[in-house]
């Protein structure tokens, strides 16, 4: 049986992780290692400045007082130390993780960590709307993993998929690229009861509706599957930033003066 490490950023008590773990338990040995409370928008944060505590919540079920990335590390290097998981599954997140937002997402960052550890990883996020259910997403996660498990000898170790599921009736599936957000983000400034200012980051995400993007797929009622990778290098920039490169390499770094 393949071993599947399941985590999320909404916390171990969220409905999304419960349904994901149940769906995947039909296909493999599922181990849940998840934050003990919500850790949404924690990105790829790793806790290094304090010890972490892990609590056994049940059979193959553990909570951690840390981030999703902490959970993947503890899952791989402690809970499953004897034999690493074959896959990491993250989610099902309460809310979409599209386009530029994947860099904030704890759900997606857990899969970054899985990939960095050489484990094929998939993130699942659910659109939230009136009357939505996690069940279609859980059913899709099971079918996706059925295929991954069948193909697992052939899968690249850096396989990383970001899956978003629309709330309404599902009208299909598209392989997509990340969309671009036109963010109307703002900071709201108010005054607390003690007369001190406080700030709240606020924004209603708006997206460029461009064909082929994850956003366009989801607004069209289709499941979006985006293959991601962790090399953030802007390769065209190695050439197109040539003038900048030449000026930077021309800066006198005092290398001669450093010679003894």
Interface residues toward Mn ion, by CB under 5 A? 9-10, 40, 93
Question: Cβ of residue 93: shortest distance to Mn ion, in angstroms?
Answer: 5
- Give the ranges where the chain is alpha helix by DSSP (H): 15-25, 68-74, 106-116, 135-150, 214-219, 235-240, 242-249, 255-258
Question: Cβ of residue 97: shortest distance to Mn ion, in angstroms?
Answer: 8
DSSP assignment of 207-256 equals B---TTBHHHHHHTTEEEEEE--S----HHHHHHTHHHHHHHHTS---HH
Question: Cβ of residue 53: shortest distance to Mn ion, in angstroms?
Answer: 21
CB 197, CB 190: distance < 8 Å: yes
**Residue nearer to Mn ion on the CB measure, 93 or 162:** 93
- Pairing assessment for the beta strands 61-64 and 172-175 based on DSSP bridges: unpaired
Question: Cβ of residue 10: shortest distance to Mn ion, in angstroms?
Answer: 4
**Residue nearer to Mn ion on the CB measure, 27 or 226:** 226
DSSP assignment of 90-101 equals EEEEES---GGG
**Residue nearer to Mn ion on the CB measure, 27 or 90:** 90
Question: Cβ of residue 244: shortest distance to Mn ion, in angstroms?
Answer: 38
Question: Cβ of residue 239: shortest distance to Mn ion, in angstroms?
Answer: 38
Beta bridge partners of 183: none
User: CB nearest Mn ion: which residue?
Assistant: 40
Neighbours of 169 (CB within 10 A): 7
CA distance 222 to 256: 60
**Residue nearer to Mn ion on the CB measure, 42 or 159:** 42
**Residue nearer to Mn ion on the CB measure, 201 or 211:** 201
CA distance 79 to 12: 16
CA dihedral 15→17→20→26, nearest 10 degrees, is: -100
**Residue nearer to Mn ion on the CB measure, 43 or 120:** 43
């Amino acid at each position: 049986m393949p071993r599947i490490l399941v985590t999320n950023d909404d916390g171990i008590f969220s409905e999304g992780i419960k349904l994901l773990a149940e769906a995947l338990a039909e296909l493999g040995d599922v181990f849940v290692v998840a934050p003990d409370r919500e850790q949404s928008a924690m990105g790829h944060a790793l806790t290094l400045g304090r010890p972490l505590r892990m609590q056994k919540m049940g059979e193959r079920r553990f909570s951690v007082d840390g981030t999703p990335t902490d959970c993947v590390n503890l899952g791989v290097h402690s809970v499953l130390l004897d034999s690493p998981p074959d896959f990491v599954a993250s989610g099902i997140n309460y809310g979409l993780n599209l386009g530029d937002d994947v860099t904030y997402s704890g759900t997606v960052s857990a899969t970054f960590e899985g990939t960095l550890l050489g484990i094929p990883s998939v993130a699942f996020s659910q659109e939230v709307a009136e009357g939505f259910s996690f069940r279609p997403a859980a059913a899709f996660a099971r079918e996706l993993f059925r295929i991954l498990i069948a193909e697992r000898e052939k899968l690249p170790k850096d396989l990383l998929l970001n899956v978003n599921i629309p709330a309404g009736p599902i009208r299909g599936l598209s392989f997509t690229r990340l969309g671009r957000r036109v963010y109307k983000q703002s900071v709201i400034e108010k005054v607390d009861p003690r007369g001190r200012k406080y700030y709240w980051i606020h924004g209603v995400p708006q997206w460029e509706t461009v064909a082929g993007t994850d956003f366009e797929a989801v607004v069209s009622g289709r499941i979006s599957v985006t293959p991601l990778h962790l090399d953030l290098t802007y390769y065209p920039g190695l050439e197109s930033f040539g003038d900048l490169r030449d000026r930077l390499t021309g800066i006198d770094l005092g290398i001669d003066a450093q010679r003894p």
